[in-house]
Amino acid sequence: MKIAMFGLGYVGFTAMCCLASEGHKLIGIDVNPDKVEGILAGRSPIKEPGVGEMLAKALADGLIDAVTNISGALDDCDMAIVCVGTPSAPDGGHDMRYIIDVTRQIAGELKPGREKPLTVVFRSTIRPGTLDELIYPIFAARHGASTDSLVELVYNPEFLREATAVQDYFHPPKIVIGTRDGKPSANMEALNANIDAPVFQVGFRESEITKFVDNTWHAVKVAFANEIGRVCMELGIRASQVHQIFVSDTKLNISPYYTRPGGAFGGSCLPKDVRALQRIAADCGAGTHLVDSLLRSNDAHKHALFRKVTAGLPAGARVLLAGLAFKAETDDLRESPNVDLARMLLQAGYDLTIFDPAVEAAQLVGANLGYVYARIPRLEALLVDQAAAEAGDFDRIIVTNATARLLNIAADRVIDISRLD
């Protein structure tokens, strides 16, 4: 198939490379000219294991192109996949401006007389009702009675974890496909033909709420574990032993994942989707009190960890933070709790140095760039390489994620907050 990919961030770019590796022809569309220029030159706009090699091969095989202007790009496409951002709006819901803008562009490019409808697949996280109440009406306002003959709308949430996104693309925990009538889409069946995973063919709303349910559950598990971890920390109880007992009960306690007391939750999905589900619940009067408490609990945990790592440490002490991104091997800094920790350390007057080999200040773009510089304006001056991190005379070393495994450092100065012992 020939596929247009709207939005070349972490989800869109990874999906584009994976689809090209299967022989599909991709045209990527992004408003950032530097990102498009870099992709055409063979430079990945993100740090994600495997995508750089996939991009190089796809370019050599003539399977990937990238543009900033949609004009004419859809004429011979079978499918368009929308992966633009839906960041948090001031009221906690999703900011839908990018979804609306791209939908209008696609509707404007559809020409009467297509042999088959264009399958337009939305992968961005959107609240239930968006396909029916926002997206379809945009197409209908433009094309009227011809809408259903020109476009087939699909919602297909993604389940990619950063640093394992390529593996997750080809081996997802499930595939959820939402259509207007809940019936299969031929193009989606062809797209997923080589992927072995449970498939759920549902209506729009069931598919739209899936990501909120999943991400909010993950947030619940992390917050619960950390609340227990804080109690253990304050009472001198070994949280690691309590955790071992808890996860041994796989019959009633579900699974060990996301339940180990450790760092705060963060990243580009959990915080914004919890906020959005809070907004949805408030709108319908559901009264989700645990969900409403999650972000406050997470903030409390950030402050508890700050107190833990600075206990007995005088202002001005030399501190190494090993791991700035919310997860090792990625440079995604959006809502990383480690960025918040770095900001608190700086505000408290500590002499901070940061080691994270996946984060290169000069290569940060878009929301990633804006988020971190609003909180750490001197980021370039704080980042050091592995040699400098190992050679530095630090009073304390704070480990936040698996990044520290690269370092040869003495354990007596290390506090690992990726897990609470």
- Distances 103 to 48, 78, 138, 158 between C-alpha atoms, Å: 28, 16, 7, 19
Domain presence at residue 310: yes
Domain presence at residue 367: yes
Statement to judge: residues 260 and 355 lie in one domain: yes
Statement to judge: residues 144 and 277 lie in one domain: no
pLDDT at 409: 87
Domain presence at residue 207: no
Is residue 256's pLDDT more than 70? no
Statement to judge: residues 251 and 296 lie in one domain: yes
Statement to judge: residues 25 and 119 lie in one domain: yes
Question: Average pLDDT in the 231-246 region?
Answer: 92
The neighbour count for residue 376, using CB atoms within 10 Å, is 22
Statement to judge: residues 51 and 186 lie in one domain: yes
Statement to judge: residues 155 and 258 lie in one domain: no
Is residue 290's pLDDT more than 90? no
Domain presence at residue 67: yes
* Average pLDDT score over the chain: 94
Question: Average pLDDT in the 246-272 region?
Answer: 84
Q: Are 207 and 183 in contact (CB under 8 A)?
A: no
| For helices 337-347 and 366-375, angle between their N-to-C axes, nearest 10 degrees | 30
Split at pLDDT 50, 70, 90, the class of 331 is very high
Domain boundary pick from 197, 232, 262 = 197
CATH code of the domain containing 278: 3.40.50.720
pTM for this entry: 0.85
Domain boundary pick from 197, 231, 259 = 197
Statement to judge: residues 58 and 169 lie in one domain: yes
- Residues assigned a catalytic role: 269
Provide the 8-state DSSP code for 75. T
- Domain containing 344 equals 213-416
Statement to judge: residues 187 and 329 lie in one domain: no
Question: Average pLDDT in the 100-117 region?
Answer: 94
Instruction: Kindly report, residue by residue over 165-216, the tens digit of the pLDDT.
Output: 999 999 999 999 999 999 999 999 999 999 999 999 999 999 999 999 999 9
Domain boundary pick from 144, 170, 197 = 197
Report the number of distinct structural domains present in the chain.
2
The per-residue DSSP string of 9-43 comes to SHHHHHHHHHHHHTT-EEEEE-S-HHHHHHHHTT-
pLDDT at 252: 75
Listed range (19-28, 90-99, 147-156, 249-258) with the worst mean pLDDT: 249-258
Is residue 116's pLDDT more than 70? yes
Residue position matching structure tokens 């997750």: 168
Statement to judge: residues 35 and 175 lie in one domain: yes
pLDDT at 412: 85
Statement to judge: residues 37 and 77 lie in one domain: yes
Domain presence at residue 208: no
Domain presence at residue 169: yes
Statement to judge: residues 172 and 249 lie in one domain: no
Pick the closest to residue 11 from 211, 213, 158 (CA basis): 158
Domain presence at residue 394: yes
Domain presence at residue 421: no
Statement to judge: residues 259 and 127 lie in one domain: no
Residue partners of 155: CB distance under 8 A and separation at least 6: 121, 122, 126, 131, 177, 178, 179, 204, 207, 208
